[in-house]
Amino acid sequence: MQFATPRGMSRRHFLNHMAVGGAATLGASQFLQHLQANAAEVQKNQRACILVWLGGGAPTIDMWDLKPESKNGGDFKPISTKGDLQICEHLPEIAKVMDKMSVVRSMSTREADHTRGTYFMHTGYVPNPTVVHPTFGSVVSYELGAKRKDLQIPAFVSVGGGGMDPGFLGMSNAPFVVDAQGRIQNADMGQDAGRLGQRLTMLEAVEDSFINSKRGDSGKAHKDIYIKARDLMTSTQMEAFRVDQEKPEVRAGYGSTPFGDMLVMARRLVEKGVPFVEVRNPNGWDLHNDVFNTLRRTNLPNLDKGIAGLVNDLKARGMFENTVVICMGEFGRTPRINQNTGRDHWAQSWSVLAGGGGLMGGRAIGKTDADGLRIESESYLPSDLWATVAHSLRIPLDTVHTSKNGRPMKIANGGTPIKDLIG
């Protein structure tokens, strides 16, 4: 495993070295106090969001909103849960924690193309050729990142693959992408900490004249990033990425699968104070063929243990009330089952799982008709979902960002928090 903890030198030695070299902005003792202030208590009260992304578009009609009486119903039976709703029989562990989570059954989002749907669900905006809207993790990073003074990990981490665009909020709010094993590219210099210190000291000697030469702020901005990169490379917080340090029984609670471990990592990151973590479910959900076998054999058991494990673990650590958990993909799938026993893309009436962070649990919010084709209640957009998350994270809903071409943009596209979720 690639990892950035300094080797061959104690942390204290390293910090002293840095201080002597003149590259450290914080003295060693100050720095250590900082670390102590990082104790669990501080982060416990910090709000966070974990987005579990089911890329490809999950068949929510088979998961959260079953239609057993309809020809669209498919193979699965509903089962009762600890909440006031029924879900799929292949999600028995989630059923046990369903008093804590709710299902919004009336999402209606009109974008049934993967790229457009992914964009819409992440940003709350439909794609527009001339503005790139920030994915909501970037919004949270922008709003809360600077307030987490002790946080050395970037404020928006994406676990398990491609991140989304920070848009007009800029690359400093881009997702910090790590793979499923928590490996961070280029985090290791392959040298001991002494060399890192030596190099940064040299860097300062080389570039100070430019910074001091009155050419504007770019030089300083560059230096700030290097300080952040150095802090990250040497930070004890990097342990958050090391799921292998977790007790085996904790990992077992999440199913001991790659997906389960990604969620363990998300919880560890939130514990360190990271306000937004996106976890990409490694199973493919674009189920045009053989939907029921795929769900039964792999996708659902994997999801079931992972989500239930996450909810239980957050609860056990007293973090659930401060951590919103959202589980969704870019759209649902057609109620009609196609000739390949699959379902195609469907954005008109589908479901999202949400809970934690003070949101109501155990509820089915919104209603689709008997065949799952139409919504028979108020329908919701991704903007409403993100407004709900913003509400939970205590980000004011009247926040406005300005795009690069000067257009004012309401946070979460001016959506309204979903009443039945916020209680």
Partner 1 sequence: MNLVRFLALSMVSTVLCFSVAEAADGKSDRPVRGGDPVVDEINKYLRQGWTDNEVEPSPEADDSEWLRRVYLDVVGHIPESGTVEKFLSEKNSGKRRELVSELVEDPRFVRHMTTVWANVLIGRNAPDRTSREGLEKFLRESFAKNRPWNEIVYDLLTAEGHFEQNGAVNFILGQLTGNPNRDDYAVEATAKATKIFLGMQVQCTQCHDHPFNDWKQNQFWEFNSFLRQVRRRDVDKYDAASGRNVDDYSELVRRDYEGPVYFETRQGLMKVAYPKYFDKEIDSGKKTNRRQQLAEVMAKSDGNQQVARAFVNRTWGHFMGYGFTRPVDDMGPHNPPSHPELLDFLTEEFVKSNYDVRQLVKWICNSEAYHLTSQFNPKNEIDNPSIGEIPLFSHMYVKALTVEQLYDSLIVATNADQAGKGSYEDAQRQKEVWLREFMRIFGGNEDDEPTLFSGTIPQALMLMNGDLTKQAISPDKGAFLTTVLSSPKLRNDNQRIQALYISALGRIPSRAEYAKIEKVMRQAPSPIMAYQDLYWALLNSNEFVLNH
Residues that bind partner 1 (CB under 8 A): 21, 113, 128-130, 132, 154, 165, 170-172, 174, 176-177, 184-190, 195, 198-199, 201-203, 205-211, 213-219, 221-226, 228-229, 232-233, 404-407
**In the complex, least distance from residue 25 CB atom to partner 1, rounded to whole angstroms:** 15
Residue number, 21 or 253, with CB nearest to partner 1: 21
- Shortest spacing between CB 255 and partner 1, in angstroms: 30
- Please, what is the minimum distance in Å from the beta carbon of residue 241 to partner 1? 13
To partner 1, the closest distance from the beta carbon of 163 in angstroms equals: 10
Residue 87 or 277 with smaller CB distance to partner 1: 277
Buried b (16+ CB within 10 A) or exposed e, 355-364: bbbbbbbbbb
**How far apart are CB 236 and partner 1 at their closest, in Å?**
17
Residue nearer to partner 1 on the CB measure, 69 or 217: 217
- To partner 1, the closest distance from the beta carbon of 244 in angstroms equals 22
Angle made by CA atoms 167, 173, 176, in degrees to the nearest 5: 110
Cβ-based nearer residue to partner 1, 99 or 165: 165
Question: With respect to partner 1, which residue has the nearer C-beta, 113 or 321?
Answer: 113
Q: Nearer Cβ to partner 1, position 7 or 77? A: 7
Cβ nearer to partner 1, comparing 207 with 344: 207
Nearer to partner 1, 17 or 105 (CB): 17
Residue 219: CB minimum distance to partner 1, A: 4
Minimum CB separation of residue 225 from partner 1 in Å reads 4
